Amino acid sequence: MTPRTITAQPLTAAAFAPFGTLIDTTQVAPRPMNAGMAQRFHDLAAIEVTGEGARVVVGLVQAQPYPLPLRLGLVERHPLGSQAFVPLNAAPFLVVVCPDEARRPGAPQAFVTAPHQGVCYAPNIWHGVLTPFGAAQDFVVIDRGGPGINLEEYPFDEPWIVQLPASR
């Protein structure tokens, strides 16, 4: 059987819009703060949470690199809130998303981030796990805390192979 293969594309706000928000300081004009000693890039993404007792939480994830090409066997989604990942360095990472097709993930789309880009998955969007490549990477993660089941996983019957574009 021939493996199902997709090639990651550069991550852009327009391409990612059906799945959430691209977090990218190049897309927002900064405003000065702290007597001009700092710049704030305000309102880069909205973190949505629903359900009684829900709250926004901030965490730190230390992620190990995945070997490429990536063997994508599982995607997940979070029905009760959005989930943002902001890298703490300039290294790229792989972003995999799937459209919803009758409550199941459709064919994946893959993107490679540019330096310092992050993503905010909208609630209920199928997505791959956090996937740095080349080296370990740290991320700030902002998502939902509180009661309720906020994780649904979907294992593919047959994995997808995600490869980087030839120019990388």
CATH for 107: 2.60.120.480
Q: With a cut of 70, say whether residue 168 has pLDDT above it.
A: no
Residue in this structure with the two tokens 């360095």, named with its chain if needed:
89
Q: What average pLDDT does this structure show over 90-109?
A: 96
Of 68, 61, 113, 63, the closest CA to residue 91 belongs to 113
Q: With a cut of 80, say whether residue 1 has pLDDT above it.
A: no
Task: Tell me 123's DSSP state.
Answer: T
The C-alpha atoms of residue 147 and residue 135 are separated, in whole angstroms, by 34
pLDDT band at 3 (very low <50, low <70, confident <90, very high): confident
- Give the count of domains, the chain: 1
Q: What average pLDDT does this structure show over 81-92?
A: 96
**Inside any domain, residue 168:** no
Domain that holds residue 152: 4-163
Q: What average pLDDT does this structure show over 4-31?
A: 95
**Inside any domain, residue 50:** yes
**Inside any domain, residue 81:** yes
**Inside any domain, residue 138:** yes
**Inside any domain, residue 100:** yes
- Average pLDDT, whole number, for the chain? 95
**Inside any domain, residue 146:** yes
**Inside any domain, residue 128:** yes
State CA 54 to chain mean position distance.
21
What pLDDT score does 4 carry? Answer: 92
The C-alpha atoms of residue 97 and residue 71 are separated, in whole angstroms, by 14
**Inside any domain, residue 20:** yes
Q: What average pLDDT does this structure show over 17-45?
A: 93
The C-alpha atoms of residue 151 and residue 133 are separated, in whole angstroms, by 24
Q: With a cut of 70, say whether residue 2 has pLDDT above it.
A: no
